[in-house]
Structure 1
Amino acid sequence: MSDSFIGEIQLFGFNFAPYQWAMCQGQLLPISQNTVLFSLLGTQFGGDGRASFGLPNFQGNAACAQGQGAGLSPRNVGDSFGEPAVTLLATEMPAHGHAALVYNQGDAAKRHGTPLAGDAVISPIGADAFTGNGTTNTAFANGTVGSSGGGQPHANSQPYLALNFCIALNGVFPQRP
């Protein structure tokens, strides 16, 4: 492998940082022992800038290029954004319905709590899913089909493959253009 640039970030498929590399887990490093890396990173990933500075934290995060894409807000090196979980509000979902067809099984021998071959859906014991008007094509009683979610957030993660981001602590100093 060729010489790395100091501060270069690479992906590795093993569970440790190679020699002269560190895991990108947001840890603080002493400036006195890493002056060259500090001169490149500064405090954009944390630290007080007097005794310590931080490494990038890729734990549960994805990489993003700096700059501003069309229609997007600007992103700077060191920015952290996004949400690990999102709660959808009723106002954020399009109006929709859930159709259900239910047939009553006239043969009492074929009425079971768990469906078997030849069974049909029946109302649960102690509850009546149907309104009392007795007509065909009638509506379900209120509360038969309940809401879901309950205001709880759902995970908001894109598909992922677990790899380790590591940063080079030593190597070639990158020359500015």
Structure 2
Amino acid sequence: MTSPYIGEIQVFGFNFTPYGWASCNGATLQIRQYAALFSLIGTQYGGDGVNTFQLPNFTGRAPCGQGQGPGLTSRVMGETFGTNTVQLDATQIPAHTHQLTLSRQTNASLQRNVPQTGDGLTSITGTNAFVPATTPNATFAPQAVASAGGGQAHENRQPMLALNFCIALQGEFPAFD
């Protein structure tokens, strides 16, 4: 492998950081120890700019190039964006229905005109689907056909492959044209 440029980010398929490189994990470094690297990336990824600066952080993130592609939002180096989870509302879910199918009990010895304790189509959070103390043709309890989901967020990250992003601490200082 040729000598890398200081500040060059490479992806490695092994689980350790090679000599002369550092993991892109957002670590805070001392400017006095890594002056050449600081002169290239500055506080683009964090740090106070007096004593410290930070490395890029690819932990749990996907890389994105800088600039603006056709129809895309402009991105600058060091910018983080996106979210790991999203909470959907009714306008984001395709139209659909929930059906409740009932079957008639054909065994006459098991038929009842009035729901009794312990009767039910199914157990819903410890209760039966029938409203208690009702007459024949009883209304189902609201939780039998209620909304589902409870508004919890769902995972929203794109599929990933775990790789080792590293930044060169040593190598050639890139020339500016």
Q: Same fold (TM over 0.5)?
A: yes
Is 2:47 aligned against 1:47?
A: yes
Matching residue of 1:34? 34
Is 2:9 aligned against 1:23?
A: no
TM-score (norm 2): 0.78
Q: Contact (CA 8 Å) 2:87, 2:153: kept in 1 or not?
A: yes
Matching residue of 1:81? 81
CA distance in 2, matches of 1:108, 1:34: 86
CA distance in 2, matches of 1:108, 1:9: 76
Matching residue of 1:93? 93
Following superposition, the deviation at residue 141 of structure 1 comes to 6.6
Change (3 A) 1:128 1:49: same
Contiguous gaps of at least 5 residues in structure 1: 110-121
What RMSD over aligned residues (CA atoms) do the two structures have, in Å?
2.7
> What amino acid is the match of 1:13?
G
Change (3 A) 1:51 1:108: farther
Give structure 1 regions of 4+ aligned residues with deviation exceeding 6 angstroms: none
Contiguous gaps of at least 5 residues in structure 2: 110-119
> What amino acid is the match of 1:123?
L
Change (3 A) 1:144 1:127: closer
Matching residue of 1:128? 130
Following superposition, the deviation at residue 9 of structure 1 comes to 0.8
Q: Contact (CA 8 Å) 2:47, 2:53: kept in 1 or not?
A: yes
> What amino acid is the match of 2:122?
P
Residue identity over aligned pairs, in percent, reads 53
CA distance in 2, matches of 1:51, 1:146: 58
